[in-house]
Amino acid sequence: MVNRLKTTFVIGNWKMNGAISDNEAFLSDLLKLLERLDLGGVICGIAVPSVYLFQFSSRLVDNPFLLGSQDVSARKDNGPFTGEISAKMLTEFDCSFSIVGHSERRENFQESNEDIAKKATQLLQYGITPIVCVGENAVLRKNGDAVAFVAGQIDELSSFLSKELLGKCKFAYEPIWAIGTGKTALTSDVREMHTTIRRSLVKNIGEDSGLQIPILYGGSVNADNVLEIMSEECVDGVLVGGASVRMDSFGDLLEKAVNRLH
């Protein structure tokens, strides 16, 4: 089941990286690049650590380049939740999206699909788009259980989210065994898993909405492999980790992604 959307997404995820002075140099180079790039049908953005949201939002005012968060609280608005950042707070930095359910959050903080659904609900209440991550680890892949596992993730998420809310999310497939390893999934594996996600979405929310949800690929994406990955009709964009932290590598990747469409 292939559905190539008209819009392509390139989203960076800095994870726990950055420093104020380095960020300024990154932003300066990014803004210079954006001045000469015709983004066309490419929507670009970056998710930075929350402590840098103000720095980035103040420099990206009235810019088509999107700013996002790497996570959000499942709690409402405010209250006695030390260390949490609410969706309402993210609106003050003009965040247009937030990653939820990243494999590192699922594994290191034991986040469940119910937790992720609650976070997505909070984001959507404030007009922020959730990018929901799903994917299998090396053991599941080796045992041939990847398809069933990822389909099950979608099914469980749909049990906690209404069809309307699920239809407003974006999804990212993460082959967990490839993240931060320099490995990328075979194109045949990418097709299989993106098709699995698409079919699961259609099953749970219907064809009209299920075929319109963007599905990104995230697994050691870099400037050397981005064109091959994005050439797959089932891939609507990429979620970029380590290669998004430095402007030389991220800029190269962005240019290739944009020029591919012109």
Confidence at 139, pLDDT banded by 50, 70, 90 = very high
The answer on pLDDT for 3 being more than 70 is no
The answer on pLDDT for 231 being more than 90 is yes
Residue in 114, 174, 192, 233 annotated catalytic: 174
Whole-number average pLDDT of the chain? 95
All structural domains of the chain: 8-259 (3.20.20.70)
The answer on pLDDT for 45 being more than 90 is yes
User: Helices 146-160 and 113-125, interaxial angle, to 10°?
Assistant: 50
Residue in 84, 102, 194, 262 annotated catalytic: 102
The answer on pLDDT for 261 being more than 80 is no
Stretch 32-58: mean pLDDT: 96
pTM of full prediction above 0.85? yes
pLDDT in tens, 99-119: 999 999 999 999 999 999 999
Q: Write down the pLDDT at residue 2.
A: 56
The answer on pLDDT for 22 being more than 70 is yes
Stretch 42-56: mean pLDDT: 98
Q: Write down the pLDDT at residue 164.
A: 98
State what percent of residues in the chain have pLDDT above 90: 90
Confidence at 244, pLDDT banded by 50, 70, 90 = very high
Whether 194 is a known active-site residue: answer no
The answer on pLDDT for 180 being more than 90 is no
